[in-house]
Amino acid sequence: MAKEYVSMRNLRFVLHELFQVEKLTTYQRYADHTKDGFDLMIDSAKQMADTLLHPIYREMDDNEPKMGEDTVHVHPDMRKIMREFGESGWIACQEDYEHGGQRMPATIYGASNFIFHAANTSAASYFGLTGGSADLIGTFGNQELKDTYLAKMYAGEWQGTMALTEPHAGSSLGDITTTATPAGDGSYRIKGQKHFISAGDHDGVDNVVHLMLAKIPGGPAGSKGISLFVVPKKRPVNGELVANDVKTNSFEHKMGMKGCPIAYLIMGENDNCHGWLVGEPHQGLKYMFQMMNGARISVGMMSTALSSAAYYASLQYANERPQGRHVSNKGQDGPMVPIIEYADVKRMLLFQKSIVEGCLSLVMQCSYYEDMIRVTEGEEREKYQMLLDVLTPMCKTYPAEMSLLSTSQGIQVLGGVGYCADFPLQQFYRDTRINPIYEGTTGIQAMDLLGRKVTMKGGKAVMLFGAEMQQTVMQAMQDEKLKPYAEKLGASLQKFSEVTMKLMGLAQTQEPEVFLSDATLYLENAGILCVAWQWLKQAIVVQEKLAAGQSGDELAFYEGKMYAFKYFFEYELPKSIGLVKRLMSDERLTLEMSEAHLN
Amino acid sequence: MAKEYVSMRNLRFVLHELFQVEKLTTYQRYADHTKDGFDLMIDSAKQMADTLLHPIYREMDDNEPKMGEDTVHVHPDMRKIMREFGESGWIACQEDYEHGGQRMPATIYGASNFIFHAANTSAASYFGLTGGSADLIGTFGNQELKDTYLAKMYAGEWQGTMALTEPHAGSSLGDITTTATPAGDGSYRIKGQKHFISAGDHDGVDNVVHLMLAKIPGGPAGSKGISLFVVPKKRPVNGELVANDVKTNSFEHKMGMKGCPIAYLIMGENDNCHGWLVGEPHQGLKYMFQMMNGARISVGMMSTALSSAAYYASLQYANERPQGRHVSNKGQDGPMVPIIEYADVKRMLLFQKSIVEGCLSLVMQCSYYEDMIRVTEGEEREKYQMLLDVLTPMCKTYPAEMSLLSTSQGIQVLGGVGYCADFPLQQFYRDTRINPIYEGTTGIQAMDLLGRKVTMKGGKAVMLFGAEMQQTVMQAMQDEKLKPYAEKLGASLQKFSEVTMKLMGLAQTQEPEVFLSDATLYLENAGILCVAWQWLKQAIVVQEKLAAGQSGDELAFYEGKMYAFKYFFEYELPKSIGLVKRLMSDERLTLEMSEAHLN
C-alpha cells in the first residue's frame, strides 16, 4: 500500500490561497466558522480516512460482497465506518443545525470528500450516498418523512440510495415502468424493478432507504410523469421495522468498485411495498436533479481522488525503484539510478500532477459556486447558479475521462508490477473506469452542455462563464512571466467561441442531430479550456507567493506548481487545436453513414 | 459472450486485396502455396479459435491458475489446446519442412494470430510463446538442442518461454545476475531468479523449456556479457525426464491476462540446474532480439485483436439495445430506438473500427516485410529489413496504446453493463492493459525509434520509410476523391520531417537527454502518421473496387471502409498538430525540474 494518497499541502493551497475560503465566514450562514476550524475539519477528515478507510481499500477489492439470505454481506468494517462517520457528523455535515448538521461549506466538504475517495472510494460511496439522499428528504420531504428518516440516516444507521435506473431504462429515465399506486392511507404501493442501485442493500446498516423514481398511474407520459418516493427496505411501524417487500434479487460482479455492491431490486412481488411521496406528484425528476447535480460534481471529485492516489503511489515507486542508467552514461556502468531521474518518467509524473491539481481546482470551483449560491440572493445568486450550471458537465466529465489516462500513466510508471495485484495502481485503474458512466455518461453530459447549457437563457449563462475566464486571462496578462500563457489561453478561447458560433448557426438551420453530432468533442475541448483556466488562476497566486520570497519545501512546492502549470499549457492545451479543426469541419460522417457500414 | 470477434471479410480484404499475398507464391520459398490454400489456413484458424479458444475466454479469467505442489494448475483445457495446436501444425507452421513446418508466410500466420488472440488472448499466448522459442532454437541452436527439444515443443507437449526479466532487472537487461557456469561436460550450471515469465510453469504440458538469458562468469560487463541458454524444467536423461532444479516460487495475481500465469522462478537452489548454451557465448541479447522483434510485432497484433473483439461485442450490443429516442423526436414518444442510431454511439463505433482496421493493416505491413526479407536477397532484402526495423516501434506501440482507448470506448457503448462481468468488454479492457508494457514499454520503444532507428545507417532507413509513405501519397493524389486526404497526410509528413530535423540538430549539439526528452510524443506522432498511411493505402484499393461496381453487402463493406478511413483523417490525424506544436517547443520542463518539484 502506498504511503500517501493526497497532498495536504496542495489542499491547503486550494482552500486558502486559491479560493480563500475564510471569506465565506463573512456571510451569515458560515459566520460560526473560522479558518482554523476549516483546517481542523480537513485534518479530521484525513485522520478518519487514514484510520478507517485506507487500510481496507485492497481488502474490499479482494473480498467481494456475498449474497446472503436476506441481505448482501459486505466488508465487516462497513458497519463501524457508517456509524463512525455518522456519529462524528460527516454524513449530516452540510445540513443546517436543526437537522444535526454543521453548516459545513461545500468547499470544505468537497476537500474532505476528495480525501475520503482517494483513501477508499468504495467505502466513501456508502456514506456519501446516504448524506446526499438524506439531504434530498430534508429539502423536499414533509415533516413526517424528516422525522422518520433523517436522524437514522445521518447517524449512519440506515443507508440512503438513489434508485433511478431500471433494466430497460438507464439514460432514458422517461421510460421507467415502476409504478406507485395511491393506497388511500397517504402512502403508495410500489411495484417494479430497479437495477444498478449502489449500496442498494448490505449488512453494514439496519435499514436501507431508497429515494426512488416511479410513476403514478394516470400521470403524464414520459419524464413529466415521474414522481419521487421514499421506499425503505424495512418500514417503521409503531417503532418496529417491518419487511417492506423490497427484495434484493442479485448484485452485479464488476471490474472495479467491488467493495460497494450494486443491487438489482424487485419491489412489490407480494403487493406489500409501501412508498411515501416526496414533495409534489410528477416533480420527481426535478427534485432528483438536486441530488444528481451534486452527484455529478462528486463524480468529478471521485475521479480526481483516484488520479491523486495513483499519482502518489507511482511517485513513491519512481523514487524508490533503481533501474538502468542515464543515456549520457556512455559505458552504462556504475550503480543504477532511481527511475524518477528519467525524463520520460518525469513526464508521466508531471502529466499526472497537472491532471490531479488541475482537476481538483476545477471541481473546487464548482463547490465554491455552490457555496456562493447558498450565501447570496437575487441577481448575484442567479449568476452563481448559471456559472455552476454551465461548469457542471465539464466538472463531471473532464476529471472522469482524464482519470482513465492518469491512472493508466500511474501503472505505466511501475511497468509490469503496475499490472499486478500487489500494487494498488491496477485497482485505481479498474475503480475509476466507472466514472465516465456514473450519473450520466460522457455522451449525455455533452448533450447537456451543447444542447441545453449553451443555449440556456439565450446564451447568457455561457457569456457569463466566458467573462469569468476572460477576467483571469486579463489578470494574468499583467504578469510578464504569465503573459505568454495568458495569450495562449486567450487565443484558444477565441477559437472555441468561433466553434460555438458555428454550431449555433447549424442549430438554427438544421435538425438538432447536426449541431449535436460531435457534442462529445465540444465537451472535451471545453474541459481542456476549463482546466487551463484553473491552472492560470493557480499560476497567478503562485507568482505572488514566489515574489514574496520562498525557500526550502515551500519554494519547491510553488516551483512544482509552475512546472505542472506549464506542462498543461505545453502538452494538454495544444490538444484543443486538433479538436477545433475537427469541430469546424463540415464532414458529417456519423450522420451520413448507416448501421450496415459498421459491420 | 459476443457472437463475433473478428471480421473474416476484412481479413480477406487485407490479405488479398491490400497485400495481395498470392504474389508471395511466385517466390521459391512459398511456391508450394496457393491463394486457396491460404484461405483454408485462415478458415482453419477461425474454426480452431471458435471451438477451442473462444468458449473458455471468460472461464480462464474467472478461474485463476492455482499454485500446486510442483506446478501451476491452469484451465484443464490447456492440455488439449496445446496438443491440438501442436498436432495440427500451428506451433511449427512458419518453420521449414525439415522441422515439421509448413513454411507458412508471416502474413498468413499474422492473420491467424489475430484470430487466436481475439478469441482468447491468454490461451493463444501459451502456444505463441512455444512457437517463438522453438524457432529460436531452430535458428541458433546446435543439432543436439534441435533434436532434443523441437519435436516436443512443436507438438505442444512442452511449453517454451522467454526468460529475460529478473526482479531487479526489467528494462535494464544488462544488469541481470543469473549466472551460467561451465560444468566441463558441455553444459552449464544455472543459478539465479527470473520474474514475470509468461506461461513459465503449468500442468498443461509435460515440460517447460526456458530460453533464458544469463551471464557466464568472467565475460564482458553489462549487456555485452549476456548469453542465451536452454534451461528446461525437467532435463531429458537417457530418455527420462529428471527434475532440473528450476523451482516455481510463486506466480503473480494480475488485473488481466489471468488465464496465463507469470511465474517467479528460482534456478539452482541445489546447484543442480543444467543449462545448454545456444550459439556463441555473449551473443545472447542479439539472438533473443530475433524473438523479441517478432514478439513486438505480435504485441501489436494482440492489441489489435483485443480492440477487434471489443469492437464487435459493442457493435452487437448497440444493434440490440433499445434506449431513448432521437432528439428530433420532439414529443419523445413512440418506441425506443436501438442505440446504434445515435450519432455519438456511431462515433464511438467508427472510432473503434478505424483503430481496429487501421492497426491490423499496420501490423500486417510488418508481417509483409518479414515475408519479403525471407524471400529476397542482397540490397532488396536489406531494404525490407530497414523498413521493418523502422516500423517495429510504431507497430508495437500505437496498437497497444490505442487498444486502451478503443476497448474503453467499447465499454462506454454499453454504459453500466460494460463495467459488469456478465459482458466481456471489461475483460478486454483489463487484458489489453499489459500491452503497452510487454516486450519493451512505450517509453523504451520511443527511445528505440528516436535514439536508434532514426539515426541508423546515417538516416537511410528513415528516408527509405518516408519514401514508402510518400509513394502512397503520390498515388492517392491521382484520385480526385482521395486527393484532399493525400494532401493532408503529405502536409503532416512534411511537418513531422521538420520535427525530425530539429531533433537531429539538438542531438548533434547537446546531451542525448535533450533530443530524447519527448521521444514518447515523437513516437505517438509517428504512429498516427503510419496508420493514416495504411488507411490511405486501403482507400486506394477501395476506390478501385467501388469504381468496378459493387452492390449489397459488398457495397456496404467498401463504403464502411471509406467512412472509417475518413474518420481517421477527420478525428485522429488532427491530433498530430498538437503533438508537433509541443515537439517544436523549446521548453524542456522535464529536464529542468527536479524530483522535489513532484511532491
The predicted-structure confidence for A251-300, as pLDDT tens digits, reads as follows 999 999 999 999 999 999 999 999 999 999 999 999 999 889 999 999 99
| Cα–Cα distance measured from residue B457 to residue B461, given in angstroms and rounded to the nearest whole number | 7
Q: Is residue A302 classed as helix, strand or coil in its secondary structure?
A: helix
Q: Cβ neighbours of residue B178 under 8 Å, at least 6 residues apart?
A: B166, B190, B191, B192, B193, B194, B212, B213, B214, B215, B267
Give chain A positions within 8 Å (CB) of B590. Answer: 343-344, 346-347, 350
Residue type, B577: I
Of A8, A255, A570, which to mutate for an interface test with B (greatest number of B Cβ within 10 Å)?
Answer: A255
- What are the residues whose beta carbons fall under 8 Å from the beta carbon of B302, sequence distance 6 or more? B113, B117, B121, B124, B432, B435
The partner residue sitting opposite A595, judged by closest CB among B340, B416, B517, is B340
Which chain B residues are within 8 Å of A353, Cβ to Cβ?
598
pLDDT for res A331: 84
CATH no., domain A8-153: 1.10.540.10
- Please tell me which of the candidates B451, B556, B589 has its beta carbon nearest to residue A570: B589
pLDDT of residue B5: 98
Q: What is the pLDDT of residue A198?
A: 97
* Mean pLDDT computed over A573-588: 97
- B496-552 pLDDT per residue, tens: 999 999 999 999 999 999 999 999 999 999 999 999 999 999 999 999 999 999 999
Residue-level pLDDT at A364: 98
For residue A35, give the 3-state DSSP assignment.
helix
User: Of B73, B201, B51, nearest to B126 (Cα)?
Assistant: B201
**Rounded CA separation A514/A262 (Å):** 36
With CA atoms as reference, report the closest residue to A291 among A106, A156, A133: A133
CATH of segment(s) B159-284: 2.40.110.20
Residue A571 to residue B557, Cβ atoms within 8 A: no
The verdict on a CB contact (< 8 Å) between B599 and A557 is: yes
User: Which neighbouring-strand residues pair with A250?
Assistant: A264
Mean predicted confidence (pLDDT) in A413-440: 97
List of chain A residues whose C-beta atoms are within 8 Å of the C-beta of residue B517: 343-344, 347
Amino acid code (one letter) for B57: Y
Q: What is the mean pLDDT of residues B564-583?
A: 98
Q: In this structure, which amino acid lies at residue A309?
A: A
- First-to-last alpha carbon distance for chain A, in angstroms, is 45
Band of the pLDDT at B2, cuts 50, 70, 90? Answer: low
Q: How many CB pairs under 8 A join A and B?
A: 287
pLDDT for the residue numbered B7: 98
Q: What cell numbers appear for B297 in the block?
A: 510485432
Alpha carbon of B487: minimum distance to chain A alpha carbons (Å): 16
Q: Which of A447, A570, A597 minimises the CB distance to B559?
A: A597
Residue B573 near residue B581 (C-beta atoms within 8 A): no
Kindly tell me if the per-residue pLDDT of B331 is higher than 90.
no
Asked if A172 lies within 8 A of B7 by C-beta distance, the reply is no
DSSP calls for A83-115: HHHHHTTTTTTTS-GGGT-----HHHHHHHHHH
pTM of the predicted model as reported, rounded to 2 decimal places: 0.98
pLDDT at A1 over 60: no
Answer yes or no: is pLDDT of B389 > 70. Answer: yes
Provide CB contacts within 8 A for A350, sequence distance 6+: A563, A564, A567, B589, B590, B593, B598
Tell me if A578 and B581 make a contact (CB, 8 A cut-off): no
Is the pLDDT assigned to residue A394 strictly greater than 90?
yes
Q: B330 burial class (0-12, 13-18, 19+ CB within 10 angstroms)?
A: exposed
CATH T-level topology, domain A159-286: Butyryl-CoA Dehydrogenase, subunit A; domain 2 (2.40.110)
Question: pLDDT over 70 for what percent of chain B?
Answer: 100
Instruction: Note whether ipTM > 0.90 here.
Output: yes
Using one digit for the tens of pLDDT, what is the confidence trace for A287-342?
999 889 999 999 999 999 999 999 999 999 999 999 999 988 988 889 999 999 99
3-state DSSP of B205-259: CCEEEEEEEEECCCCCCHHHHEEEEEEECEEEECCEEEECCEEEEEECCECCCCC
Tell me how far apart the alpha carbons of residues A156 and A78 are, in angstroms, rounded to a whole number.
10
Confidence bin at B98 (pLDDT 50/70/90)? confident
- Which residue in A has a C-alpha nearest to residue B337's C-alpha? A172
Which of A121, A517, A595 would best serve as a mutation to test chain B binding (most B beta carbons within 10 A)? A595
Q: What is the mean pLDDT of chain B?
A: 97
Mean predicted confidence (pLDDT) in B559-566: 98
Query: CB B559 to CB A196 under 8 A?
Result: no
| Cβ atoms < 10 Å from Cβ of A24 | 23
B433 vs A411, A422, A556: nearest CB:
A411
Backbone angles phi, psi at B574, to 5 degrees: -60, -20
Locate B106 and state its grid cell: 508471416
HSE-up (13 A, CA, CB side) for residue A416: 20
Write down the domain spans for chain A. 8-153, 159-286, 441-589
Nearest CA of chain B to the CA of A294: how many Å?
A: 20
pLDDT above 60 (res B1): no
Flag if A255 and B430 touch (Cβ within 8 Å). yes
> What are the beta bridge partners of residue B353?
none
Q: Are A12 and A115 in contact (CB under 8 A)?
A: no
Residue B570 bears catalytic tag: no
Instruction: Say if the Cβ atoms of B350 and A590 lie within 8 Å.
Output: yes
pLDDT digits (tens, 9 = 90+) for B471-510: 999 999 999 999 999 999 999 999 999 999 999 999 999 9
Q: Is-same-fold flag (A8-153; A159-286)? A: no
The residue among B529, B253, B530 whose CA lies nearest residue B388 is B530
- pLDDT for B59 beyond 90: yes
Residue B318: CB atoms within 10 A of its CB come to: 22
**Alpha carbon distance A561, B420 (integer Å):** 38
How much of chain B is in helix, strand and coil states, percent to nearest 5? 60, 10, 25
> Do the chains contact at B433 and A408, CB–CB below 8 Å?
yes
Distance CA B310, CA B408 (A): 9
Cβ of B590 within 8 Å of Cβ of A174? The answer is: no
CB–CB of B416 and A430 under 8 A? no
Q: CA of A528, closest CA in chain B: separation in Å?
A: 13
Separation between Cα atoms, residue B525 and residue B506, nearest integer Å = 19
Q: Which of B168, B346, B404 sits opposite A593 (nearest CB)?
A: B346
Output the pLDDT for position B3: 79
SS (HEC) of B275-344: EEECCCCCCHHHHHHHHHHHHHHHHHHHHHHHHHHHHHHHHHHHHHCECCCCCCCCCCCCCCCEHHHCHH
Partners of residue B551 in chain A, C-beta under 8 Å: none
Nearest CA-CA partner of A565 in A543, A594, A589: A543
Whether A2 has a pLDDT exceeding 80, the answer reads no
- Residues of A with active-site annotation: 439
Query: Which of A577, A431, A585, A469 lies closest to A518, judged by CA?
Result: A585
Question: What is the DSSP secondary structure assignment for residue B150, as one 8-state letter?
Answer: I
CA distance to partner chain A, nearest, from residue B598 (Å): 6
Which of the four pLDDT bands, split at 50, 70 and 90, describes residue A221? very high
pLDDT in tens, A16-43: 999 999 999 999 999 999 999 999 999 9
φ, ψ of residue B262 to 5 degrees: the values are -110, 120
The share of chain A scoring above pLDDT 90, in percent, equals: 96
Chain A positions touching B350 (Cβ under 8 A) are 589-590, 593, 598
Question: How high does pLDDT run on average in chain A?
Answer: 97
- pLDDT, position B134: 96
| Cβ-Cβ contacts under 8 Å, B542 against chain A | none
Is A597–B343 a contact, with Cβ atoms under 8 angstroms apart? no
Closest by Cα among B283, B270, B274, B282 to B185: B274
At residue A206, does pLDDT exceed 60?
Answer: yes
* Banded pLDDT at B332 (limits 50, 70, 90): confident
Average pLDDT over residues B124-146: 97
What does the alpha-carbon distance between residue A192 and residue A249 come to, in Å, rounded to a whole number? Answer: 12
Q: How many CB atoms lie within 10 A of CB A309?
A: 30
